[in-house]
Amino acid sequence: MLSSQNEDSQKHFTLIDNGNVASAKGFKAGGLHCGIRKKKIDFGWFYSDVPAQVAGVYTTNVFQAAPLKVTQESIATEEVLQAVVVNSGIANACTGEQGLQDAYDMRKIFAETIGVKEHLAAVASTGLIGEPLPMDKIQYGMEQIPNKEHDGANKFETAILTTDTKEKGIAIELEIDGQVVTIGGAAKGSGMIHPNMATMLAFITTDANIPSKYLSAALKDITNKSFNMITVDGDTSTNDMVLVLANGEAGNESLSPEHKEWQKFYQALKFVSEYLAKEIARDGEGASKLVEVNVKGAFTDESAQAIAKSIISSNLVKTAVHGADANWGRIITAIGYSGVSLDPDSVSIYLGDILVVENGIPHPFDEEEAKQYLLQDEIKILAQLGDANGKATAWGCDLSYEYVRINASYRT
């Protein structure tokens, strides 16, 4: 389900029915079951017909998994990529020198299989930490890639999932320099999701012509407003990344911030990123509700971001939402410990359209009306801090009994 938040920017592009990571010109994708997991598809790939400009952002966890190190090395070589291979089930994290060698071997075999230079290939893994990759099964998966039976972006979307309950994909079209430009994407993420990157993999492809340096700058800025503004459980993992590949096949003039239609491209890339980020939050482990927190009236956007993250990350807020309890005191508390200086007497809180706190004190409201609102599957919380211009939005989910069940038995 798409939010109406970006209605103005949506005027510049069109959603593609069943759009995906292979919708842009020159991209292909596929996936299969190689045996890492018992039955589910667990091995996927996508690639461009030609080398693509690339940008990436990565987890801030100091325990970076081997695939991240290898992928960053690939990108650093020429700032171009052509292909990405992913396995789920085993994260290849905290696996020492053998894990690093396995990631290199995974890249080498994949590059040879599809016929690209080794440094043009990237690898990603997600799943259980501390277990070595079963390289015999990885090798089997590589051998199956030429089999066209396994082609299809829907199979790639399934292959990258772990505890997710559904695939996450999107694609849009816009016109730049009179040429149709497509941006598509796929993502996974359900648990260990917290701002500043976490257990998420997000892959975005476009046929736009844009140099890597401008793509990287745009992605970093957009990530701080999308992937870094979601949380499920407050845990930041070892693995994951967002990659954007741009192969230039659309034939538009080279994009830069000076290009007259730069903002059209930027807003379209932001829309795709926000959509994928929200789908990750919506699909949080055990979640039954998507929660959106809007903060307005802060002195700076950075202050608003800190407060939005504090609210969306609060386990007490998340459990209150799950129980449909209009306990606004938990929201006030999360604002108070955010570390941001503000005037408590200027803070107002809304649950949807229901005003529950006005200028720092309780505002009379109908408890039953608030409960009925909180029983919906999409909840919006607004914190109005004053009259300044700083604002931010964060996304998360409720915290349920099911979340505890899933994570209490993750390894077993």
**pLDDT at 2 > cutoff 60:** no
d(CA 183, CA 21): 8
Contacts 24+ apart (CB under 8 A), 405-408: 405/286, 406/163, 406/191, 406/285, 406/286, 407/191, 407/233, 407/285
**pLDDT at 168 > cutoff 90:** yes
**pLDDT at 205 > cutoff 60:** yes
Catalytic residue annotation: 199
What's the alpha-carbon Rg for the chain, to the nearest Å? 22
DSSP label of 254: P
Taken in order 179, 187, 56, 34, the sign of the CA dihedral is negative
Q: Which two tokens stand for residue 134?
A: 């079963």
3-state helix, strand, coil in the chain (%, to 5): 35, 25, 40
Q: Where are the alpha helices (DSSP H) in 151-296?
A: 153-159, 212-223, 262-282
Phi, psi angles (nearest 5°) of residue 168? -135, 110
Quick: pLDDT tens for 303-335: 999 999 999 989 999 999 999 999 999 999 999
Instruction: Give residue 350's identity as a one-letter amino acid code.
Output: Y
Q: How confident is the model at residue 111 (pLDDT cuts 50, 70, 90)?
A: very high
Three-state SS for 245?
A: strand
| Portion of the chain with pLDDT greater than 70, in percent | 90
C-alpha distance from residue 342 to each of 24, 229, 294, 359 (Å): 45, 21, 16, 12
For residues 31 and 44, is the Cβ–Cβ distance under 8 A? yes
Give the least confident one: 94-108, 153-167, 240-254, 278-292.
278-292
Quick: pLDDT tens for 238-256: 777 899 999 999 999 999 9
State the burial class of residue 144 (Cβ atoms within 10 Å of its Cβ: 0-12, 13-18, 19+): middle
The pLDDT of residue 62 is 77
**pLDDT at 233 > cutoff 50:** no
Domains delineated in the chain = 8-280 (3.60.70.12), 290-408 (3.10.20.340)
Mean pLDDT of 207-215: 98
**pLDDT at 170 > cutoff 80:** yes
Three-state SS for 215?
A: helix
Instruction: Give residue 269's identity as a one-letter amino acid code.
Output: L
